[in-house]
């Protein structure tokens, strides 16, 4: 009887142990299936935009979505508003692997990848939707390839919106009105246009502009109206000219070597989430441009919108900027302009 009892006890214990193991295995499988294929990794993402800009809002949501979809396996460490890198430091840090991922303007990328200056060529782009179509086609593919050749993968084109001019001297109703002014520029191609209009370009980062305008170091500046609102241009400038001379793009770029070493599943998740975010940002660009232009007017700026029939004069006067772009890019630049003209 004792022997039978010991045997039954042993069988019961073994059964319980097997049941526990089975339950444990089941639970492990259930947990791991949530993050199946996602190896743990940490990605640092830096950007230098104001936190309430629609591009910044999109980037923050992108990071949250990646972490959520990966079940926390992919940890996104986000450094906003220039906390980690200035816009002048960003590209080199991405290319050398100092940071895995970063957001910067196509204008600043143009010094390393000349064809990225195509967005600054005056009056090439005049429609939000058509710009998106171009970026999703051969035009965008050529730009992505050029970036990868330099060591950075484009994960997202983030539509910032159209560039305008603000100044505190006089209304700019024609290129002639620029003569003698000092205008903050955002890159080489815009500087060529500013010079062609008779003004002197002064290059500086976005965070420096308010003080420069306040101290009359510059008379005016070019930027999107979204940034003008957030950086309070209305406090230091009086006149706003809306001529939509350039369609500003910001690029979410990844160090190419880091990207190539990521598992395919992680690459797919990042790509899919970036595409969703890119669409959201593009949908916001037009409404944000319109809203912030109106807000600047409501705050007291005198707004002049260049009539459609006058734009040809502005475009003709800006031809030296076109020539500068083509001199820098040759046949590749010609091909890009042909694709979007």
Q: Are 200 and 219 in contact (CB under 8 A)?
A: no
Question: Which range in 16-20, 129-133, 249-253 is most confidently predicted, on average pLDDT?
Answer: 249-253
Sequence spans of domains, the chain: 39-340
Helix intervals (H) in 70-175 = 87-96, 106-109, 128-135, 138-150
43: pLDDT strictly greater than 70: yes
Closest C-alpha to 254, from 150, 115, 112, 336: 150
Nearest to 74 by CA among 270, 254, 257: 270
Mean pLDDT over all residues of the chain?
90
Which of 10-19, 24-33, 222-231 has the weakest average pLDDT?
24-33
What confidence score (pLDDT) does residue 205 get?
79
* Of 207, 203, 183, nearest in space to 86 by CA: 207
Q: Which residues contact 19 (CB under 8 A, 6 or more apart)?
A: none
Q: Which is higher by pLDDT, 10 or 98?
A: 98
Smallest CA-to-CA distance from 47 within 32, 62, 34, 35 is with 62
Mean pLDDT (whole number) for 84-108: 95
CA 61/CA 273 separation, integer angstroms: 10
Burial class (CB in 10 A: 0-12, 13-18, 19+), 96: exposed
Joined tokens for residue 129: 């939707």
Percent of the chain whose predicted confidence (pLDDT) is above 90: 83
Question: Helices 54-69 and 264-298: crossing angle, nearest 10°?
Answer: 150
What is residue 36's predicted lDDT score, i.e. its pLDDT? Answer: 59
Of the candidate CATH numbers 3.20.20.80, 3.40.1160.10, 3.40.190.170, 3.40.50.300, the domain formed by 39-340 belongs to 3.40.190.170
Judged against a pLDDT cut of 90, whether residue 32 lies above it is answered with no
CA distances to 38, 166, 294 from 281, rounded to whole Å, are 26, 24, 20
pLDDT in tens, 284-341: 999 999 999 999 999 999 999 999 999 999 999 999 999 999 999 999 999 999 999 8
User: Phi and psi dihedrals of 135, rounded to 5?
Assistant: -70, -25
Show Cβ contacts of residue 177 under 8 Å, excluding neighbours closer than 6 positions. Answer: 170, 171
Can you tell me the mean pLDDT for 36-57? 91
Which residues make Cβ contacts (< 8 Å) with residue 97, sequence separation at least 6? 255, 257, 258
> What is the DSSP secondary structure assignment for residue 100, as one 8-state letter?
S
Q: Report the pLDDT averaged over residues 254-279.
A: 97
Q: What percent of the chain has pLDDT over 70?
A: 89
């Amino acid at each position: 009887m004792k022997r039978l009892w010991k045997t039954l006890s042993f069988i019961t214990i073994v059964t319980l142990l097997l049941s526990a193991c089975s339950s444990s295995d089941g639970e492990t499988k259930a947990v791991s299936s949530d993050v199946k294929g996602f190896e743990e990794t940490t990605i640092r993402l830096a950007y230098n935009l104001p936190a309430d800009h629609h591009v910044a809002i999109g980037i923050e949501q992108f990071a949250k979505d990646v972490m959520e979809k990966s079940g926390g396996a992919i940890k996104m460490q986000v450094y906003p508003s220039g906390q980690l890198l200035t816009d002048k430091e960003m590209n080199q840090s991405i290319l050398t692997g100092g940071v895995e991922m970063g957001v910067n303007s196509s204008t600043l990328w143009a010094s390393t990848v000349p064809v990225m200056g195509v967005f600054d060529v005056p009056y090439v782009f005049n429609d939000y939707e058509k710009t998106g179509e171009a970026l999703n086609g051969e035009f965008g593919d050529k730009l992505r390839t050029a970036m990868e050749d330099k060591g950075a993968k484009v994960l997202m084109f983030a539509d910032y919106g159209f560039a305008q001019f603000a100044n505190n001297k006089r209304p700019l109703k024609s290129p002639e009105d620029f003569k003698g002014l000092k205008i903050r520029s955002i890159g080489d191609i815009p500087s060529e246009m500013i010079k062609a209009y008779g003004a002197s370009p002064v290059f500086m980062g976005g965070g420096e502009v308010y003080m420069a305008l306040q101290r009359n170091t510059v008379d005016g500046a070019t930027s999107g109206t979204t940034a003008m609102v957030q950086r309070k241009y209305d406090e230091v400038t009086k006149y706003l000219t809306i001529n939509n001379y350039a369609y500003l793009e910001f690029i979410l770029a990844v160090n190419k070597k880091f990207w190539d070493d990521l598992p395919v599943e992680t690459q797919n998740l990042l790509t899919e989430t970036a595409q969703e975010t890119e669409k959201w940002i593009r949908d916001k660009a037009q409404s944000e441009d319109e809203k912030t232009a109106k807000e600047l007017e409501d705050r007291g700026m005198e707004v002049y919108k260049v009539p459609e029939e006058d734009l040809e004069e502005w475009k003709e006067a800006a031809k030296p900027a076109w020539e500068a772009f083509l001199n820098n890019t040759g046949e590749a630049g010609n091909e890009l302009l042909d694709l979007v003209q």
